[in-house]
């Protein structure tokens, strides 16, 4: 489980099946295919006319206020918008109409990734990938750390910053309640030109490939969302390069959870290796201190002995010197006494 | 002793220090009241595109790095036997504890529902999240630091039995603290591994956890030097070590700082080389990257080395200041400057003055508490009845 | 069985966290068992 390196800056072109479709995620040796038969949506941007009926329908289904700019109001396209806490989907214009080229629009919303980054980074596990495909969010456990919003590569999530009591993360839910009832998502039903198709993801990929086969001049030869960052539930077709639609082209097939959690395999290693290692360091330090102390004690002992020897030798010398001087003094005194005796005897 | 107490010689409470800190703290309290009664929008520039701003960038990211001195010094003294640094262990641990308390307070201000802070442990866990690991480690480490600061408290209160008890825990706490610190310092960086398209490639790297850890060690060492600069003067009457000893400690830290920064430079170069990012250095972002690396990593590395070799304390302090600025700058870059680098200019983030004020308030609070503790407890000196541990 | 990587990792990483927590406590006891008699040694 090593940390893999991937070149992603303008690197690989992940199209035309150039790369193998099965990738071993960095987090594990196993490969996960996801729930079989799960649903998805196909967004054909070459068909989108920017009517924004999907925005209106989405607002209705989710009980949010209708978009302030009405359908047909072209001024809304002068800026590139993003989803908000009340607008779970928006349509942007990425290319203006030209003499020979029609304008290009794209609908933005949560992509309901196969391996959701938001779910992987949530520290209370508030996100769940359902077997049907949509990702659900549980506001009952959310603490509002907003890591999910920070991490989402599609900038799909929004937060309720004006709410001090119970703020939530807000996003497209892929109309999960409707799907469970067998209905289509609101946007798919509302689209008048068939730019949004709802169905099983594996079927939609076939539909998309078929369209590319039939109209090779109309489409870029790539189904966006099939493999990018592990694949998404929303698939896209485009007539212009996906990077011009603000979509990250050339990103790895490895899912963001795999990339983002690959490091976490190191954490248990630190916990299991450090105790023994650091206890060893501590033991080495104590041993070094003990040996140093022993050396010091030995050196002190030797120094003390040496000092004692020197003192003894010095004392001995002094004693001998004193003895000699005493003897000499005695000799001198005896000699003197004898000499005096002689003097007295002769007189 | 009079200049070090709350009241001045005339017993007045309105010292310049108290007035300034009081105004700052009062302002912070007012702003936070507004934040908690009307929501984050009123007091921050946070948005859906920029969900994390100054309170995460500084209070959490930089705050944790700057509080790293605690584990660095306690490991050096208690695990690796570098007893000459014993005099700075307690100030470093106190700084560490207050730093981590500041992190938690900043987090409580930033979370959408701060009262739910314990949820990952008591309600539902998300173990795949790097943030789960960070919050677990920070919670545990804050506890470790708290216990590690209690010896001084017990000595102050004369509680001999308690003091002996926590003294016996020193080695275990130090080892546990080093484990926890290694993990969460690295994992704070690992939180960004999931954003390869949002963080500029010069800052994004699979090695970002290692880079965060090493720079945290450098920041911790530098903060001890800086904290020593102020404490040595403010608490001069308490200090028992000789000037020579104090200088010796600082030069030892400078030497450590030089080596750690040199290691950090090498690790950063390796990251550039492995992703073949040399040409990016020629871009305007590359220039900004070089400002951070050259000005606030390479320069202080050289200054630390010269300061140690030539025994120039002032130079070591300059190097320490530059290192701290460099680590803060790096965390800012990763959190909101080089993060979202492709986002259109009008949607970029800059902190609101209210965010800055709250951050400054938290720092002020830490300084006030440090001063209060050091004035009363044996932080800057050894209590005569309690000989040094180990 | 696990259908997604995130579900798999949620389970495995959760279990691993608990295991390493237990390891820390066990190691502490293990170390104490190892070094207990050192206290009876004569002071060097």
Provide the pLDDT confidence category of residue A260 given band limits of 50, 70 and 90.
confident
Q: Could you report the per-residue pLDDT of B140-168, keeping only the tens digit for each? A: 999 999 999 999 999 999 899 999 999 99
Residue A129 above 90 pLDDT? Answer: yes
The rounded percent of chain B whose pLDDT value lies above 90 is 86
The ipTM value here is 0.92
Look at C13 and B172 and tell me if their CB atoms are within 8 Å.
Answer: no
Which chains sit next to B, with 3 or more Cβ pairs under 8 A? Answer: A, C
Give the dihedral sign, CA A9/A13/A15/A21. negative
Which of B127, B180, B187, B194 to mutate to probe the C interface, most C CBs <10 Å? B127
pLDDT for res A74:
85
pLDDT for res B99:
95
Distance CA B174, CA A54 (A): 59
Helix axes of B89-110 and B353-376: crossing angle, nearest 10 degrees:
150
Interfacial C residues in 1-44 facing A (CB < 8 Å): 2-10, 12-13, 16-17, 19-20, 23-24, 27, 31, 44
Residue A175 above 50 pLDDT? Answer: yes
Strands of A138-231, DSSP E = 158-159, 169-170, 196-200
Q: Could you report the per-residue pLDDT of A9-46, keeping only the tens digit for each? A: 333 333 333 333 334 445 577 789 999 999 999 999 99
Residue B327 above 60 pLDDT? Answer: yes
Both tokens of residue A269?
């290693």
Q: Could you report the per-residue pLDDT of A263-298, keeping only the tens digit for each? A: 999 999 999 999 999 999 999 998 998 999 999 999
Residue A3 above 50 pLDDT? Answer: no
pLDDT for res A2:
36
Which of B125, B128, B136, B173 to mutate to probe the C interface, most C CBs <10 Å? B128
The rounded percent of chain A whose pLDDT value lies above 90 is 80
pLDDT for res B386:
76
Look at A34 and C4 and tell me if their CB atoms are within 8 Å.
Answer: yes
pLDDT for res A4:
43
Distance CA B205, CA B200 (A): 9
pLDDT for res A72:
79
Provide the pLDDT confidence category of residue A246 given band limits of 50, 70 and 90.
very high
pLDDT for res A9:
35
- Write down the domain spans for chain C: 8-35
Both tokens of residue B250?
């600082």
Provide the pLDDT confidence category of residue C43 given band limits of 50, 70 and 90.
low
Average pLDDT over residues B65-79: 95
- Write down the domain spans for chain B: 24-376
Average pLDDT over residues B32-59: 96
pLDDT for res C1:
87
Distance CA B304, CA B312 (A): 9
pLDDT for res B389:
55
Minimum CA–CA partner of B127 in chain A = A123
Helix axes of B243-274 and B299-310: crossing angle, nearest 10 degrees:
150
A234-237 and A39-44: which strand pairing? parallel
Mean pLDDT, rounded, of chain B: 93
Look at A82 and B41 and tell me if their CB atoms are within 8 Å.
Answer: no
pLDDT for res B11:
54
Residue B70 and residue B34 in contact, taking contact as beta carbons nearer than 8 Å: no
Residue A132 and residue A38 in contact, taking contact as beta carbons nearer than 8 Å: yes
pLDDT for res B1:
41
Q: How many CB pairs lie under 8 A apart between chains A and C?
A: 60
For residue B80, which residues of chain A lie inside 8 Å, CB to CB?
281, 285
Residue B208 and residue B189 in contact, taking contact as beta carbons nearer than 8 Å: yes
Distance CA B177, CA A79 (A): 50
pLDDT for res A347:
61
Q: How many CB pairs lie under 8 A apart between chains A and B?
A: 186
B171 touches chain C (CB under 8 A): no
Look at C8 and A33 and tell me if their CB atoms are within 8 Å.
Answer: no
Residue B280 above 90 pLDDT? Answer: yes
pLDDT for res B238:
84
Residue A233 and residue A114 in contact, taking contact as beta carbons nearer than 8 Å: yes
Residue B357 above 60 pLDDT? Answer: yes
CATH code 3.40.50.720 for B24-376:
no
For residue B121, which residues of chain C lie inside 8 Å, CB to CB?
none
Distance CA A183, CA A181 (A): 6
Q: Best-predicted range by mean pLDDT among A71-80, A197-206, B236-245, C29-38?
A: A197-206
For residue B128, which residues of chain C lie inside 8 Å, CB to CB?
6, 9-10, 13
pLDDT for res A19:
34
Average pLDDT over residues A71-80: 87
Give the Å distances, CA to CA, from A219 to A209, A238, B170: 10, 6, 68
Look at C9 and A115 and tell me if their CB atoms are within 8 Å.
Answer: no
Average pLDDT over residues B219-229: 95
pLDDT for res A47:
96
pLDDT for res A26:
54
For chain A, the maximum distance between any two Cα atoms, rounded to a whole number of angstroms, is 167
Both tokens of residue A51?
């009517």
Strand ranges across the sheet with A196-200: A196-200, A39-44, A234-237
For residue C20, which residues of chain B lie inside 8 Å, CB to CB?
none
Both tokens of residue B278?
């040399």
Distance CA B293, CA B327 (A): 10
B161-185 b/e with 16+ CB inside 10 Å = b? eebeebeeebbebbbbbbbbbbbbb
pLDDT for res A14:
35
For residue A25, which residues of chain C lie inside 8 Å, CB to CB?
5
Burial grade of B292 (CB within 10 A; 0-12, 13-18, 19 or more): buried
Distance CA B311, CA B305 (A): 10
Look at C17 and B127 and tell me if their CB atoms are within 8 Å.
Answer: yes
Rg of chain A (C-alpha set):
44
Both tokens of residue A110?
């949560």
Q: Which residues contact A95 (CB under 8 A, 6 or more apart)?
A: A101, A103, A104, A240, A244
More confident call, A69 vs B73: B73
Residue A246 and residue A80 in contact, taking contact as beta carbons nearer than 8 Å: yes
| Å between B206 CA and nearest CA of chain C | 19
Look at B128 and C9 and tell me if their CB atoms are within 8 Å.
Answer: yes
């Amino acid at each position: 489980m090593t940390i893999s390196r991937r070149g992603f800056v303008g690197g690989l072109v992940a199209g035309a099946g150039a790369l193998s479709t099965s990738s071993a995620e960095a987090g594990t040796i196993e490969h996960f295919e996801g729930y079989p038969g799960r649903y998805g949506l196909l967004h054909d941007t070459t068909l989108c006319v920017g009517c924004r009926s999907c925005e209106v329908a989405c607002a209705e289904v989710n009980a949010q206020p209708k978009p302030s700019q009405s359908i047909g109001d072209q001024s809304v396209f002068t800026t590139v918008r993003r989803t908000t806490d009340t607008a779970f989907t928006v349509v942007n214009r990425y290319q203006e109409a030209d003499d020979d080229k029609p304008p290009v629009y794209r609908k933005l919303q949560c992509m309901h990734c196969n391996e959701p980054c938001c779910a992987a980074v949530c520290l209370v596990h508030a996100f769940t990938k359902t077997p049907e495909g949509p990702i659900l969010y549980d506001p009952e456990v959310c603490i509002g750390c907003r890591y999910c919003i920070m991490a989402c590569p599609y900038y799909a999530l929004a937060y309720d910053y004006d709410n001090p009591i119970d703020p939530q993360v807000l996003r497209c839910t892929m109309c999960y309640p409707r799907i469970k009832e067998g209905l289509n998502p609101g946007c798919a039903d509302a689209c008048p030109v068939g730019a949004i198709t709802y169905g099983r993801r594996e079927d939609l990929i076939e539909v998309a490939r078929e369209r590319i086969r039939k109209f090779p001049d109309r489409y870029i030869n790539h189904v966006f969302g099939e493999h990018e960052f592990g694949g998404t539930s929303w698939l896209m077709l485009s007539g212009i390069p996906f990077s011009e639609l603000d979509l990250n082209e050339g990103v790895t097939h490895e899912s963001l959870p795999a990339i983002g959690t690959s490091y976490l395999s190191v954490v248990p290693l630190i916990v299991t290796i450090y105790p023994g290692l650091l206890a060893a360091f501590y033991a080495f330090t104590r041993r070094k201190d003990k040996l140093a102390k022993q050396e010091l004690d030995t050196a002190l002992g030797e120094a003390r002995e040496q000092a004692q020897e020197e003192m003894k030798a010095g004392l001995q010398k002094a004693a001998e010197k004193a003895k000699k001087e005493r003897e000499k003094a005695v000799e001198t005194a005896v000699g003197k006494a004898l000499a005096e005796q002689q003097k007295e005897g002769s007189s | 002793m009079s200049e070090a107490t709350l009241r001045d010689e005339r017993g007045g409470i309105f010292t310049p220090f108290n007035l300034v800190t009081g105004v700052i703290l009062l302002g912070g309290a007012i702003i936070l009241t507004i934040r908690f009664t009307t929501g984050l929008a009123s007091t921050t520039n946070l948005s859906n595109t920029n969900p994390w701003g100054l309170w995460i960038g500084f209070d959490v990211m930089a705050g944790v790095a700057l509080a790293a001195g605690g584990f660095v010094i306690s490991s050096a003294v208690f695990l690796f036997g570098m007893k000459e640094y014993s005099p700075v262990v307690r100030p470093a641990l106190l700084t560490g504890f207050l730093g981590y308390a500041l992190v938690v307070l900043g987090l409580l201000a930033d979370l959408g529902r701060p009262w739910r802070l314990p949820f990952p442990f008591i309600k539902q866990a998300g173990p795949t999240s790097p943030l789960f690991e960070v919050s677990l480690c920070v919670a545990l480490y804050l506890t470790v630091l708290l216990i590690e600061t209690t010896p001084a408290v017990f000595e102050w209160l004369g509680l001999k039995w308690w003091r002996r008890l926590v003294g016996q825990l020193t080695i275990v706490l130090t080892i546990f603290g080093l484990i926890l610190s290694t993990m969460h310092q690295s994992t704070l960086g690992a939180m960004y591994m999931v954003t390869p398209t949002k963080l500029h490639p010069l800052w994004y790297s699979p090695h970002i956890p290692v880079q965060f850890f090493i720079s945290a060690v450098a920041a911790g060492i530098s903060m001890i030097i800086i904290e020593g600069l102020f404490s040595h003067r403010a608490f001069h009457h308490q200090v028992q070590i000789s000037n020579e000893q104090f200088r010796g400690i600082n030069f030892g830290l400078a030497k450590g700082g030089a080596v750690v920064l040199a290691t950090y430079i090498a690790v950063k170069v390796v990251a550039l080389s492995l992703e073949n990012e040399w040409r990016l250095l020629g871009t305007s972002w590359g220039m900004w990257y070089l400002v951070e690396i050259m000005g606030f990593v390479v320069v202080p590395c050289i200054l630390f080395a010269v300061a140690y070799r030539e025994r120039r304390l002032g130079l070591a302090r300059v190097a320490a200041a530059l290192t701290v600025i460099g680590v803060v700058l790096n965390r800012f870059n990763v959190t909101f400057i080089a993060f979202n680098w492709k986002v259109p200019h009008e949607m970029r983030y800059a902190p609101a003055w209210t965010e800055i004020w709250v951050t400054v308030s938290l720092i002020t609070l830490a300084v006030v508490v440090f001063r209060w503790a050091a004035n009363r407890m044996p932080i800057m000196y050894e209590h005569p009845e309690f000989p040094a541990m180990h | 069985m696990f259908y997604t990587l995130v579900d798999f990792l949620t389970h495995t990483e959760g279990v691993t966290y608990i295991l390493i927590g237990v390891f820390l406590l066990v190691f502490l006891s293990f170390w104490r068992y190892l070094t207990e008699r050192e206290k009876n040694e004569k002071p060097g």
